[in-house]
Amino acid sequence: MALSGAVIDTMQRESRGRERVSSSRRSWYSPAAPRDVAIVVPVGGPARAWPRAARSLARLEPPPGEIVVVIDGRHDAVAAVAVEIGATVLVLDERSGPARARNRGARVAIGDILLFVDADVEVTSDLAARVVGILTAHPDIAAVFGSYDDAPADGGLVSQYRNLLHHFVHQTGRQEASTFWAGCGAVRREAFCEVGGFDEGRAVPSIEDIELGSRLLRAGHTIRLEKSLQVKHLKAWRFTDMVATDLWRRAVPWTELMLRDGRLVNDLNVSVRERASVLVAFVAVLALAGSPRWPRLLGAGGAALLLMVALNAGFFEFLGRRRGAVFAAAAIPLHVTYLLVCGFGFGVGVIRHLVGRRR
């Protein structure tokens, strides 16, 4: 019965949330306090990491004004944990993806700052207070996001590589960002509602946060990458998951988004250096693959591989400092795979974009 009451409560408050949205636009943002922060967490499926993530949310100090957990498809165990930490619970009977779940959470939440957190991250106890501090100190900023930390929970090679790659890319990105990340990212409600929230046309986790960032920028808002905002990723990555995610949920839709907007972003995973690395990786693999038939290609392939490592020297040096030289060397084939997937995904994205325009 406790869960049912929480769900009914969220539905009753939804109209109040819409009333707050209809307030007149301002050209500046007023100072905020932790009570103005509403944390929105979409949870899909059993979510094995959710109990640990939920406990970290319960330890926030000072606490946020509210934690809204949106369960994308009924799952009683997830709901029970959410109720235990005092969260407001909203259950969506049909799975429809994190974009819709986040939008529904934002609609029922009461707070001027919407802090989106994934269900598989562990947050630091001062997260809400630090988000408020950043947005208060910078009233011109509409949104702020952080990154994974450099100590991912899972110890497997693929998990360590994938999470450390994310950490490095965000830690070396531009502070004035050209995108947004909903794994740990906050948006002022006014700006979020002005651009229409997340695009609900994406039914699976994809680039819905990147696309939101694109619309915020087009509307004239500023997004900040705050490198000190870090959360621990609890997900265990498998090689096949990495390839499928980077291809169909990152490279292909991100390419289509950039072509739709008519601009190639020079930041994070799509910087000029990243594009050069993709080209060199293809040269290396093709040359090495052809070397048994044409032995002279062996040298060219080896040279291209060394050039790829040189282009990403900062990343491999970072891996060496964090996990040792053996780990850094073992990550080279994974990084080549990642670059090949990005390049292939770019090609698929271009084709899909052109086909879509012709239709």
Domain ranges of the chain: 2-236, 268-358
Q: Tell me how far CA of residue 229 lies from CA of 101, 130, 184, 203, in angstroms.
A: 23, 8, 8, 28
Closest CA to 227 of 184, 182, 266, 196: 184
Q: Say what the pLDDT of residue 355 is.
A: 86
CB-based contacts of 353: which residues, under 8 Å, 6+ apart? 255, 256, 259, 260
Q: Say what the pLDDT of residue 16 is.
A: 42
Q: Say what the pLDDT of residue 262 is.
A: 76
Residue listed under structure tokens 């989106």: 116
| C-beta neighbour count of 267 within 10 angstroms | 17
Dihedral of alpha carbons 45, 48, 49, 52, sign: positive
CATH number of 2-236: 3.90.550.10
DSSP state of 231: E
Q: Say what the pLDDT of residue 163 is.
A: 96
CB-based contacts of 243: which residues, under 8 Å, 6+ apart? 337, 341
Helices (H), ranges, the chain: 2-21, 50-58, 76-84, 98-108, 127-137, 157-171, 189-194, 208-218, 239-244, 252-261, 272-290, 297-311, 313-323, 325-358
Q: Say what the pLDDT of residue 8 is.
A: 36
Q: Tell me how far CA of residue 19 lies from CA of 23, 100, 192, 214, 354, in angstroms.
A: 7, 20, 14, 26, 41
Q: Report the C-alpha gap between 85 and 9 in whole angstroms.
A: 16
Q: Say what the pLDDT of residue 267 is.
A: 62
Q: Report the C-alpha gap between 237 and 165 in whole angstroms.
A: 13
* Paired tokens of 208: 């819905």
Q: Say what the pLDDT of residue 20 is.
A: 41
Q: Tell me how far CA of residue 280 lies from CA of 124, 234, 302, 346, in angstroms.
A: 39, 32, 11, 15
Q: Say what the pLDDT of residue 270 is.
A: 66
Q: Say what the pLDDT of residue 15 is.
A: 44
The strand pairing partners of 67, in sequence order, are 39
Q: Say what the pLDDT of residue 44 is.
A: 87
* Paired tokens of 180: 């947004």
Per-residue pLDDT reduced to its tens digit, 140-199: 999 999 999 999 999 999 999 999 999 999 999 999 998 999 999 999 999 999 999 999
Q: In this structure, are residues 43 and 50 in contact, taking their beta carbons and an 8 Å threshold? A: yes
The amino acid present at 357, given as its one-letter code, is R
* Paired tokens of 26: 């301002």
pLDDT in tens, the chain (359 residues): 334 335 534 444 554 444 343 333 334 455 556 678 999 999 987 789 999 999 999 999 999 999 999 998 878 889 999 999 999 999 998 888 999 999 999 999 988 999 999 999 999 999 999 999 999 999 999 999 999 999 999 999 999 999 999 999 999 999 999 899 999 999 999 999 999 999 998 777 789 999 999 999 999 999 999 999 999 999 999 999 999 999 999 999 989 988 887 776 666 666 788 889 999 999 999 999 999 999 999 999 999 999 999 999 999 999 999 999 999 999 999 999 999 999 999 999 999 988 877 76
Q: In this structure, are residues 279 and 340 in contact, taking their beta carbons and an 8 Å threshold? A: no
SS3 224: strand
Residue listed under structure tokens 């819709």: 100
Which uninterrupted H or E stretch holds 227? strand 222-233
Q: Say what the pLDDT of residue 29 is.
A: 56
Q: Report the C-alpha gap between 150 and 148 in whole angstroms.
A: 7
Q: Say what the pLDDT of residue 19 is.
A: 38
DSSP state of 238: -
Phi, psi (deg, nearest 5) at residue 71 = -95, 115
Q: In this structure, are residues 110 and 66 in contact, taking their beta carbons and an 8 Å threshold? A: yes
